Structure formats: C-alpha cells, structure tokens
A = this chain, B = another copy of it.
C-alpha cells in the first residue's frame, strides 16, 4: 500500500482534482530512499575480478553466519593471487558461468580450511529475518537478512520447539541463502566433497533453486554481471568450452581492501529492514506504475533483487 499512498499524498498536496496518478515504479522508490537507508559494503567483503579484456565484475561476499569456511578460503585464495592467470571454463545457457583451474593441477595455497560434509543450513535468531512470502515451492518462507535473499524452514512438528510455539506465531528453525540470478556458489565434486572455494560459478539464468542446500552460496555479482552473462556459451557437455583457446582469461581477482584506496570500489545496498525497502518490495510484488494493468499480488523472492549501487 505504501506506493499507492505516496501518490495520493502527492495529489492532495497539489490540491486539484485530476485523475489518480500511477504509483511510483520500484526504481523511483529506490531513487527516493534517504541516505540513512543505505548500508555501505566493507571493502573486505568485495572481490574485484578483472578479465583479460579489462572488463570487471565485482562480487560481494555473503556475510556471517552463512558459508563462513568457504568465504574465508576465498579471501585466502584471492590474497594468494591464486586465480590470476586462470580462466572462465564453462558458460551454460540459463544456468552458470564457472571459473577456476581448468588443468585441475594447480596447488592450492596454504591455510585453507578443510570443508567437510557440513550442513548448508544455519540456525539463527529469527528476529533478524524479515519474512516476505510463504508462497514458495522450496521453503516454508522466504525473506531477507542483512540485505540477502534467504529461505527458512519450520521445525518438524515433533520437535519441542514446534510444540512450544503457537500456530499463529511460528518460529523458523533453519535458514539458507537462495540461488537467485547473479549469486556466486562453490563448485564441488560428488558428496561428501563440498568444494574448497577455488572453483566458483555465478548464476546467469532462472534461479536454480534446486541447488539451494546442495551447494554453498558465497556471494553475488553486484556489478558487471553482463560481462559474464554475455560470454559465448560453451558447446561441450554442461557448457564447458571444448577448446582451451575459447576460455576467458582472468587477469586477477582481488579482495578490494588489498587494492590502493583510490582503486577500491565503493558500493552500498538498500537496508532490507528499511521502510524504503518494504515499499520497494511491495511495489515489485504489486506493480502499479503506468505500464501495468494488473498487479501480480505477490512475487518470487528472486524477483525482488536487493538494490545495490555505487556509493558516490
């Protein structure tokens, strides 16, 4: 309702009778959000990936409590310059772009955490979770946490936790990050392997939510995804490039905090606990701006991308 109210208020201020204006578009709500609703992303949470073409993609690492071991490994790998000179080896349409060591022989740096077979779900204090929808095929609920799309499960009916709560105020038990467009995950071999973080992919198609809780989500591309999503698709099985010369060379991947201050990219995201975000999410789910004739009345969590912009 927020966006509708905004337009009615605007009309009242003008003090003249005229047909109701269309409500603000989601992008207009974001543009109007006050500075206080934006949260700067620490340079230690940004990776700068530079391709041989000079084009760059910037990845935000996922915050705690998600995927801690892998995210730590990724910082170690970047600091060791492990990806420099390696390549993008797989581009599968409507699925992923994947990079790492095509030879599968490059030694990993010292100091990586051994990631055993651990759960991809995390318990956490429910109050930090801002639920958005229960109409989801993959989870009891979806919502946002610290600027990220997150899914939640309910405790099983047999558990004491479930019994101690009323049906009207359910408490979620486990949480996990969602594979939306642009999300970055950790390639792995068959279970019990969970990957080290050296082999990474970014989603370039419809959200492959069947990967949720099967692979570690470690970040998201917040700038330059088009330099990955527009690459030629590989013609081998699973979209791997068949010839070495098709691979796309990676000049470097750096943690932004290791770059000279003047080269550090600065980005901020719209706080998912802000009123601006609530209005934006509502407008994404109920488009009332001029083009739309029928608001959907709901939205898939991956159709509410968290606004991220350069900090000026």
17 A-B residue pairs with Cβ-Cβ distance under 8 Å, sorted by A, are A94-B181, A133-B137, A137-B298, A138-B296, A138-B297, A181-B206, A205-B205, A205-B206, A206-B300, A210-B284, A210-B303, A212-B296, A213-B293, A213-B296, A214-B294, A229-B233, A230-B232
Is B233 a contact partner of A303 (Cβ separation < 8 A)? no
Number of interface residues of A (CB under 8 A): 45
Contact of A299 among B91, B210, B213, B229 (CB under 8 A): B210
Q: Which residues of B contact A208 (CB under 8 A)?
A: 303
Is B230 a contact partner of A231 (Cβ separation < 8 A)? yes
- Which chain A residues (213-264) contact chain B, with CB distance < 8 Å? 213-214, 225-226, 229-233
Q: Which residues of B contact A299 (CB under 8 A)?
A: 137-138, 209-210
Least CB separation from A295: chain B residue:
B210
Within the complex, the shortest CB–CB distance from A60 to chain B, in Å, comes to 16
**A199 adjacent to chain B (CB < 8 Å):** no
Least CB separation from A300: chain B residue:
B137
**A16 adjacent to chain B (CB < 8 Å):** no
Tell me the A residues contacting B by CB distance below 8 Å: 91, 93-94, 120, 133, 135-138, 180-182, 190-191, 205-210, 212-214, 225-226, 229-233, 284-285, 287, 290-294, 296-300, 302-303
Least CB separation from A188: chain B residue:
B291
Q: Which residues of B contact A287 (CB under 8 A)?
A: 210, 214
Is B138 a contact partner of A226 (Cβ separation < 8 A)? no
Is B190 a contact partner of A291 (Cβ separation < 8 A)? yes
Within the complex, the shortest CB–CB distance from A128 to chain B, in Å, comes to 23
Is B181 a contact partner of A294 (Cβ separation < 8 A)? no
Q: Which residues of B contact A213 (CB under 8 A)?
A: 293-294, 296
Within the complex, the shortest CB–CB distance from A173 to chain B, in Å, comes to 15
